[in-house]
């Protein structure tokens, strides 16, 4: 068994070691370039600016991004202990937090932790569904923006699209609550017209939650798609049309393959945001809704079991990343492709 103290130190040293290795490799590689080698970092920026650049970028990537994530992973493999026992003999590495996620108990493995596993699966499946629906809804809009709208009309549309998203998550979810509640707009309207005799429980059936989540990430889908569709060659579409391709054929076999990277980046973004959504499930979730993020939240502030919460958070993160990378593999794209 590795001692916890050393494991922790090693983990926290990791980003520094990685930086040193990459810096050294760069220096060696530049030296190998001989006469045409580029100037070193400080020769190029001067000391005052060089130190600012290094300090700011280093603090960001190491202290604000890498170390917290590594601490979280480290904590997820530890026991829940009172502060005075941390570093003591009972402070060892363990899988009990992950065991709890799978089996609902830190010791026995006889039965599955149905509630949490189901919530996790539901969150992933619902997020995939939300991503797909969002794509279907936003594709025509992005196509219209990129290929049909021009000039002032385009500018007006862009402003109109962006304006609703300056309102924060909670208020947006609240607006959906007003629209979908028992005495809300839709029920009032439907009752008034006489199409239904009883108000529909939109919140209990999770319809409000789905609508709210789709709405929340619309902008994140429209803009990557818009950028991608905007760069598709018009000549390609014209050629296909001249050759007699039906309109759906043009979209499916010409436009979409050409815009593949943009589609993938919009979908990745919406999927990651939807799985991590917290406001909409809290405000719009019915009594029986179990989104995974509120469960993670409860590990921290209801159960007060931080190591377990860390494990749950890591399961969520690792699950999403694994899924996104698999999907990109299938589409023959790399992370760098969708990032460009």
Partner 1 sequence: MKPAFIRVACAAYVLIFLVYLFLPLAVMTVSAFNTPAYPRALPFERFTLEWFMRLAQDDAMLYGFRNSLWIGMLVVLVAVPIGLAGAVVMQQVHPRLRSLYYVLTVAPILVPGVIIGISTVIFWREISIWAGTRNFYNGVLLTVLGQSSFISAYCMLLFTARLQRFDRALEDAAYDLGATHTQVFLQILLPYLRPAILSAAVLAFLSSFENYNTTTFAILSDQTLTTVLAGQVRQGTTPAVSALAVVIIAVTLLAMLSAELLRHRGLVWSMVRSRIGAVRSAARPAAGTIVGMQQANAVGLYGPRED
* Residues numbered 293-312 forming contacts with partner 1, rule: CB under 8 A: 293, 296-297, 300, 306, 309-310
Strand partners, 78: 93
- Indicate whether 67 belongs to the interface with partner 1 (CB under 8 A): yes
- Indicate whether 129 belongs to the interface with partner 1 (CB under 8 A): no
The CB-of-88 to partner 1 minimum distance in angstroms stands at: 13
The CB-of-72 to partner 1 minimum distance in angstroms stands at: 4
- Indicate whether 179 belongs to the interface with partner 1 (CB under 8 A): yes
Q: Is the Cβ–Cβ distance between 209 and 285 less than 8 Å?
A: yes
Supply 160's token pair: 């109109």
What are the distances in angstroms from CA 7 to CA 1, 34, 70, 137, 213?
A: 10, 41, 11, 48, 40
Binding-site string for partner 1 from residue 108 to residue 127, where x marks contact by CB under 8 A and - marks none:
--------------------
Tell me if residue 168 falls in helix, strand or coil: coil
Which residues, 6 or more positions from 278, have their beta carbon under 8 angstroms from its beta carbon?
293, 294, 297
Tell me if residue 189 falls in helix, strand or coil: helix
Residue of 126, 206, 268, 289 interacting with partner 1 (CB under 8 A): 268
Nearest to 101 by CA among 309, 276, 286: 309
CA atoms within 13 Å, Cβ hemisphere of 47: 0
Using the contact rule CB under 8 A, the part of the chain among 60-68, 92-100, 111-119, 252-260 near partner 1 is 60-68
- Indicate whether 254 belongs to the interface with partner 1 (CB under 8 A): no
78 phi, psi to nearest 5 deg: -110, 165
- Indicate whether 317 belongs to the interface with partner 1 (CB under 8 A): yes
CA atoms within 13 Å, Cβ hemisphere of 123: 29
The CB-of-186 to partner 1 minimum distance in angstroms stands at: 10
Using the contact rule CB under 8 A, the part of the chain among 54-62, 88-96, 97-105, 193-201 near partner 1 is 54-62
- Indicate whether 19 belongs to the interface with partner 1 (CB under 8 A): no
The CB-of-1 to partner 1 minimum distance in angstroms stands at: 21
Residue of 11, 14, 30, 103 interacting with partner 1 (CB under 8 A): 30
- Indicate whether 178 belongs to the interface with partner 1 (CB under 8 A): yes
Residue of 10, 13, 16, 68 interacting with partner 1 (CB under 8 A): 68
The CB-of-97 to partner 1 minimum distance in angstroms stands at: 13
Burial class from Cβ neighbours inside 10 Å (0-12, 13-18, 19+) for residue 278 reads middle
* CB nearer partner 1, residue 184 or residue 254: 184
Q: How many residues line the site for partner 1 (CB under 8 A)?
A: 110
- Indicate whether 162 belongs to the interface with partner 1 (CB under 8 A): yes
Residue of 10, 81, 86, 125 interacting with partner 1 (CB under 8 A): 86
CA-to-CA distance for 334 and 15, rounded, in angstroms? 23
- Indicate whether 246 belongs to the interface with partner 1 (CB under 8 A): yes
* CB nearer partner 1, residue 130 or residue 296: 296
Residue of 3, 85, 105, 168 interacting with partner 1 (CB under 8 A): 168
- Indicate whether 281 belongs to the interface with partner 1 (CB under 8 A): no
- Indicate whether 155 belongs to the interface with partner 1 (CB under 8 A): yes
* CB nearer partner 1, residue 16 or residue 112: 16
38 phi, psi to nearest 5 deg: -70, 155
Q: Is the Cβ–Cβ distance between 79 and 92 less than 8 Å?
A: yes
Count Cβ atoms below 10 Å from residue 155 Cβ, excluding itself. 11
CA-to-CA distance for 209 and 155, rounded, in angstroms? 31
Alpha helices in 254-333 (DSSP H): 256-258, 260-275, 279-284, 292-301, 306-330
* CB nearer partner 1, residue 167 or residue 322: 167
Q: What do you get for the CA distance between the two ends of the chain, in Å?
A: 43
């Amino acid at each position: 068994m590795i001692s916890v103290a050393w494991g922790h130190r090693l983990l926290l040293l990791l980003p520094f070691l990685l930086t040193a290795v990459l810096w050294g490799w760069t220096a060696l590689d530049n030296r190998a370039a001989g006469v045409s080698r580029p100037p070193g970092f400080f020769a190029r920026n001067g000391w005052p600016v060089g130190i600012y650049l290094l300090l700011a970028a280093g603090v960001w990537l190491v202290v604000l991004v890498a170390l917290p994530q590594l601490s979280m992973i480290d904590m997820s493999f530890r026991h829940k202990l009172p502060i005075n026992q941390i570093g003591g003999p009972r402070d060892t590495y363990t899988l009990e937090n992950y065991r709890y996620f799978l089996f609902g108990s830190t010791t026995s493995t006889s039965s599955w932790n149905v509630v949490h596993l189901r919530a996790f699966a539901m969150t992933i499946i619902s997020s995939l569904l939300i991503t797909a629906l969002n794509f279907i809804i936003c594709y025509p809009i992005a196509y219209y923006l990129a290929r049909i709208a021009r000039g002032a009309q385009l500018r007006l549309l862009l402003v109109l699209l962006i304006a609703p998203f300056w309102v924060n998550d909670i208020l947006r979810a609240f607006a959906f609550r007003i629209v979908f509640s028992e005495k809300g707009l839709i029920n009032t309207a439907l009752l008034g017209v006489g199409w239904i005799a009883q108000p529909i429980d939109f919140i209990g059936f999770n319809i409000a939650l789905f609508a709210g989540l789709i709405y929340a990430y619309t902008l994140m889908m429209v803009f990557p798609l818009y950028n991608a569709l905007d760069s598709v060659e018009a000549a390609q579409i014209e050629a296909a049309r001249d050759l007699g391709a039906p309109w759906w054929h043009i979209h499916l076999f010409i436009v979409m393959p050409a815009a593949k990277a943009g589609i993938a980046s919009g979908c990745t973004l919406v999927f990651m945001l939807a799985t991590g959504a917290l406001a909409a499930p809290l405000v719009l979730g019915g009594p029986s809704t179990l989104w995974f993020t509120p469960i993670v939240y409860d590990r921290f502030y209801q159960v007060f079991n931080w190591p377990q919460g860390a494990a749950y958070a890591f399961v969520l993160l690792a699950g999403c990343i694994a899924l996104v990378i698999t999907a990109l593999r299938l589409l023959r794209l790399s992370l760098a492709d969708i990032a460009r």
